[in-house]
């Protein structure tokens, strides 16, 4: 048996207190009686009756002393040793591999310094026949050791492996979770609670946990200037650029170079300027580049902020990219550059075919044009056609959305999405037939699909009334096919979204390049055009069939990027024009581990001749630019767990003995009072 808390033995002094209490027991209570004659007689009787009273008194004291001993034993946390602790030295090395560890000074990065120091500790440990385990702290959810339980005999292999961390550039461009790496040491602690942890990091920890040695690998002369973020916003049709920069561990003037390329649709046109910013240490500064047209109105607004520098740039209403660079020689270069993409919106052509064009549709499309012009999502071009549609191969890289009203084409176009509205007849080979007109007295529709489809999510069936619609005959029923190998889901047939009298009135078909929506009633015989959700229905169709590949054009290292595609596949290429990933099931998610520009390439369903490309920029996490960041308190949660692993807690038995003794003492006390 072992006492885990020997300090509890102090409680033994309570036995001395008990003896003192027995010695200085409270004085006898005085009672004046007429005579003690009978009491003297009774003594003889009592002695005769209870000869063991003295023994009982002794037992009572013994029981009380035993109770105090038990209580003291409980305080000392008595435990049974289950197995001997490992006595050999064991070291766990955790090397921070966050982007800030790439900070370079005097020819060496922090990461390299950390590896060198780790090798020194390993050398010392091997000299004592100890064991060394190395963790590389990154942002992974379940860190695993890069070198596990290396011993003296494995020294050569250990040296090779730890050197490879530098040779293979194992330092990341993202964040690291030191705490999680320390938690991953649980198994090692369970075997050897005397394990020492060495954490090599540049994060400053105000307080360190017991058993964790935090080694600071920073150099006081290091400093960093960084572009934290850059955005392009439209104001009155022209872009203004807002750039946030910061300098850490130094205050100095920084020059920011700005190059706007492909200005206003001219690939060879570019605007350039250099802005000097008087940066204050550890303070985010802002540079605002205003269009010459907006200069007078916005300059005063931004100039009110003392931390903002306002500069001019030419009038830009579209651009291919904006390249930003800090003209400095700091210790961390990976956050000195930035690129802004998405300055030229894609075109969305809406072709409205109708023998009798509907004014309502025309107004609706004009409203969309105004709306998209403001938010810059699309270059929206609606056009109305009274003539009959004749198929032709357009394939000019634009996106087309066809609306056919009443008069249907013989064959649907292959270069865009088709919306068939109140069809008189069904286009050839599309998979449905039109039987004829059916008339009602304003009856509400009812949705048939259990799961609301993306395009019908805003439709409220109860609020739609129609009095006449085209009865659709046989149509291809909707089925989903799951490829057992790839898990990819393909859909065929029409999926009914709304129906009336058991007949479909709204269907969708999404089979590769065939993307068709059929609405079988006229707005003249329905109130749908009066509903607020009708424009949203159109917007949902645009977004569903012609999705944006990414929600934005700038991401951080490790950030989850959701990818959508307008074609079968999508590939990702890096700045070296190397394909680093390819996807064929959407929406797909990915993340990037190296900063820089990436190209997202896809062959869309509607243009077999042109490759559609978009660019995004991936940058270091903002927090990594602060090369002297202060972290939270590092805790070692395994100190208490380890004891339980090596010792069996005997508290229960001592507590049971204490209860028994208390019961015996109570019985003795009760008998004593009888």
Give whichever of 450 and 674 is closer to other proteins, judged by the CB atom: 674
The answer to whether 201 and 96 are in contact (CB under 8 A) is yes
CB of 667 to other proteins, least distance (A): 14
Pick the piece of the chain touching other proteins (CB under 8 A) from 40-48, 186-194, 436-444, 487-495: 40-48
**What is the maximum span of the chain, computed from C-alpha positions, in angstroms?**
139
Q: Using the Cα atoms of residue 137, residue 139, residue 143 and residue 148 in order, give the sign of their dihedral.
A: negative
Among candidates 342, 377, 398, which has minimal Cα distance to 615? 342
- State the angle between helix axes of 359-375 and 533-545 in degrees (0 to 180), rounded to the nearest 10: 60
Contacting residues for 301 by C-beta, under 8 A, at least 6 apart: none
Pick the piece of the chain touching other proteins (CB under 8 A) from 39-47, 388-396, 460-468, 615-623: 39-47
How many residues of this chain bind other proteins (CB under 8 A)? 28
How far apart CA 509 and CA 543 sit, in angstroms, is 15
Pick the piece of the chain touching other proteins (CB under 8 A) from 36-44, 99-107, 341-349, 611-619: 36-44
Give whichever of 56 and 180 is closer to other proteins, judged by the CB atom: 56
CB of 672 to other proteins, least distance (A): 6
CB of 30 to other proteins, least distance (A): 5
CA-to-CA separations, 163 to 94, 120, 169, 375, 447, in angstroms, rounded = 15, 13, 10, 52, 65
Pick the piece of the chain touching other proteins (CB under 8 A) from 44-52, 250-258, 445-453, 526-534: 44-52
Of the residues 167, 306, 630, 674, which one makes contact with other proteins according to CB under 8 A:
674
Contact letters for other proteins, residues 52-71 (x by CB under 8 A): -x------------------
CB of 64 to other proteins, least distance (A): 17
Of the residues 23, 26, 210, 304, which one makes contact with other proteins according to CB under 8 A:
26
Give whichever of 48 and 83 is closer to other proteins, judged by the CB atom: 48
Residue tagged 């690939």 (tokens)? 267
Of the residues 45, 54, 359, 429, which one makes contact with other proteins according to CB under 8 A:
45
CB of 18 to other proteins, least distance (A): 17
How far apart CA 563 and CA 525 sit, in angstroms, is 40
Residue tagged 């922090």 (tokens)? 110
Rg of the chain in Å (alpha carbons): 40
How far apart CA 499 and CA 537 sit, in angstroms, is 16
Q: Does 31 bind other proteins (CB under 8 A)?
A: yes
How far apart CA 379 and CA 396 sit, in angstroms, is 15
Q: Does 34 bind other proteins (CB under 8 A)?
A: yes
Q: Does 35 bind other proteins (CB under 8 A)?
A: yes
Of the residues 23, 24, 37, 439, which one makes contact with other proteins according to CB under 8 A:
37
Give whichever of 50 and 160 is closer to other proteins, judged by the CB atom: 50
Pick the piece of the chain touching other proteins (CB under 8 A) from 41-49, 159-167, 262-270, 313-321: 41-49
Pick the piece of the chain touching other proteins (CB under 8 A) from 33-41, 76-84, 105-113, 607-615: 33-41
CB of 47 to other proteins, least distance (A): 9
Helix or strand holding residue 21 (H, E): helix 13-23
Site for other proteins in 399-418 (CB under 8 A): none
Beta partners for 515? 510
The answer to whether 474 and 432 are in contact (CB under 8 A) is yes
Of the residues 36, 266, 383, 479, which one makes contact with other proteins according to CB under 8 A:
36
Q: Does 673 bind other proteins (CB under 8 A)?
A: yes
Helix or strand holding residue 393 (H, E): none
Among candidates 230, 227, 226, which has minimal Cα distance to 249? 226
CB of 31 to other proteins, least distance (A): 5
Please return the burial class of 96, using the count of CB atoms within 10 Å of its CB with bins 0-12, 13-18 and 19+: buried
Q: Does 43 bind other proteins (CB under 8 A)?
A: yes
Among candidates 355, 385, 396, 332, which has minimal Cα distance to 606? 396
Give whichever of 32 and 609 is closer to other proteins, judged by the CB atom: 32
Q: Does 39 bind other proteins (CB under 8 A)?
A: yes
Please return the burial class of 47, using the count of CB atoms within 10 Å of its CB with bins 0-12, 13-18 and 19+: exposed
CB of 38 to other proteins, least distance (A): 5
CB of 43 to other proteins, least distance (A): 7
Q: Using the Cα atoms of residue 385, residue 387, residue 389 and residue 394 in order, give the sign of their dihedral.
A: negative
Pick the piece of the chain touching other proteins (CB under 8 A) from 43-51, 221-229, 232-240, 533-541: 43-51
Of the residues 123, 300, 579, 672, which one makes contact with other proteins according to CB under 8 A:
672
Give whichever of 52 and 490 is closer to other proteins, judged by the CB atom: 52
Contacting residues for 179 by C-beta, under 8 A, at least 6 apart: 632, 634, 635
How far apart CA 227 and CA 336 sit, in angstroms, is 6
Helix or strand holding residue 138 (H, E): none
How far apart CA 376 and CA 283 sit, in angstroms, is 32
Give whichever of 20 and 160 is closer to other proteins, judged by the CB atom: 20
CB of 22 to other proteins, least distance (A): 12
Residue tagged 């549609």 (tokens)? 389
Give whichever of 39 and 609 is closer to other proteins, judged by the CB atom: 39
Give whichever of 49 and 83 is closer to other proteins, judged by the CB atom: 49
How far apart CA 417 and CA 186 sit, in angstroms, is 57
CB of 70 to other proteins, least distance (A): 27
CB of 58 to other proteins, least distance (A): 15
Q: How is the beta sheet containing 270-279 ordered, strand by strand?
A: 270-279, 252-261, 321-326, 337-341
Of the residues 28, 55, 329, 532, which one makes contact with other proteins according to CB under 8 A:
28
**Footprint of other proteins (CB under 8 A):** 25-46, 49-50, 53, 672-674
């Amino acid at each position: 048996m072992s006492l885990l808390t020997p300090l509890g033995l102090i409680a033994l002094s309570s036995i001395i207190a008990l003896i003192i209490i027995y010695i200085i027991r409270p004085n006898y209570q005085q009672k004046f009686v007429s005579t003690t004659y009978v009491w003297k007689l009774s003594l003889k009787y009592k002695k005769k009756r209870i000869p063991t009273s003295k023994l009982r008194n002794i037992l009572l004291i013994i029981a009380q002393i035993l109770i105090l001993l038990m209580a003291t034993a409980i305080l000392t946390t008595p435990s049974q040793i289950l197995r001997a602790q490992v006595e050999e030295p064991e070291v766990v090395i955790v090397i921070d591999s966050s982007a800030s560890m790439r900070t370079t000074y005097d020819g060496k990065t922090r990461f390299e310094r950390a590896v060198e120091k780790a090798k020194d500790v390993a050398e010392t440990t091997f000299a004592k026949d100890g064991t060394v385990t190395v963790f590389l702290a990154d942002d992974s959810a379940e860190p695993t050791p890069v070198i596990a339980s290396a011993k003296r005999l494995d020294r050569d292999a250990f040296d090779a492996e730890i050197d490879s961390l530098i040779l293979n550039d194992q330092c990341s461009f993202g964040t690291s979770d030191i705490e999680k790496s320390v938690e991953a040491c649980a198994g090692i602690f369970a075997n050897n609670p005397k394990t020492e942890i060495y954490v090599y990091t540049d994060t400053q920890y105000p307080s360190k946990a017991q058993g964790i040695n935090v080694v600071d690998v920073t150099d006081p002369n290091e400093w960093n200037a960084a572009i934290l973020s850059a955005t392009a916003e439209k104001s009155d049709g022209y872009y203004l650029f807002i750039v946030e920069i910061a300098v850490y561990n130094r205050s100095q003037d920084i020059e920011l170079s700005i190059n706007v390329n492909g200005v206003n649709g001219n690939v060879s046109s570019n605007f350039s300027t250099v802005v000097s910013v008087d940066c204050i240490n550890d303070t985010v500064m802002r540079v605002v580049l205003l269009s010459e047209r907006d200069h007078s109105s916005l300059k005063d607004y931004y100039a009110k902020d003392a931390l903002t520098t306002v500069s001019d740039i030419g009038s830009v209403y579209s651009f291919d990219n904006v390249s930003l660079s800090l003209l400095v020689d700091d210790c961390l270069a990976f956050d000195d550059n930035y690129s802004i993409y998405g300055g030229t919106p894609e075109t969305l052509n809406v072709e409205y075919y109708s023998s009798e064009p509907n004014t309502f549709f025309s107004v609706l499309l004009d409203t969309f044009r105004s709306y998209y012009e403001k938010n810059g999502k699309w270059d929206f071009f609606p056009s109305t056609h009274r003539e009959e549609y004749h198929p032709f191969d357009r394939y000019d890289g634009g996106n087309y959305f066809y609306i056919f009203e009443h008069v249907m084409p013989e064959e649907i176009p292959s270069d865009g999405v088709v919306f068939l509205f109140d069809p008189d007849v069904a286009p050839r080979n599309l998979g449905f037939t039109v039987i004829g007109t059916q008339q009602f007295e304003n009856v509400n529709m009812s949705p048939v699909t259990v799961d609301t489809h993306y395009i019908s999510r805003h439709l409220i069936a109860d609020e739609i009334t129609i009095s006449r619609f085209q009865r659709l005959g046989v149509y291809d029923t909707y089925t989903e096919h799951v490829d057992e190998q790839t898990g990819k889901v393909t859909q065929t047939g029409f999926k009914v979204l709304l129906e009336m009298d058991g007949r479909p009135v709204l269907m969708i078909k999404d089979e590769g390049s065939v993307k068709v929506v059929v609405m079988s009633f006229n707005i003249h015989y329905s109130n749908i055009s009066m509903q607020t959700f009708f424009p949203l229905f159109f917007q949902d169709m645009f977004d569903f069939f012609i999705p944006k590949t990414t929600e934005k054009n700038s991401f951080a290292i490790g950030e989850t990027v959701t990818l959508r595609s307008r074609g079968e596949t999508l590939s990702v290429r890096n700045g070296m024009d190397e394909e680093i990933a390819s996807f064929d099931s959407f929406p797909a998610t990915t993340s990037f581990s190296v900063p820089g520009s990436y190209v997202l390439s896809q062959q869309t369903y509607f243009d077999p001749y042109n490759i559609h490309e978009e660019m995004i920029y991936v940058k270091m996490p903002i927090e990594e630019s602060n090369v002297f960041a202060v972290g939270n308190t590092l805790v070692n949660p395994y100190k208490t767990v380890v004891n339980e692993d090596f010792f069996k807690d005997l508290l229960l038995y001592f507590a049971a003995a204490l209860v028994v003794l208390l019961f015996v003492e109570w019985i003795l006390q009760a008998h004593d009072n009888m």
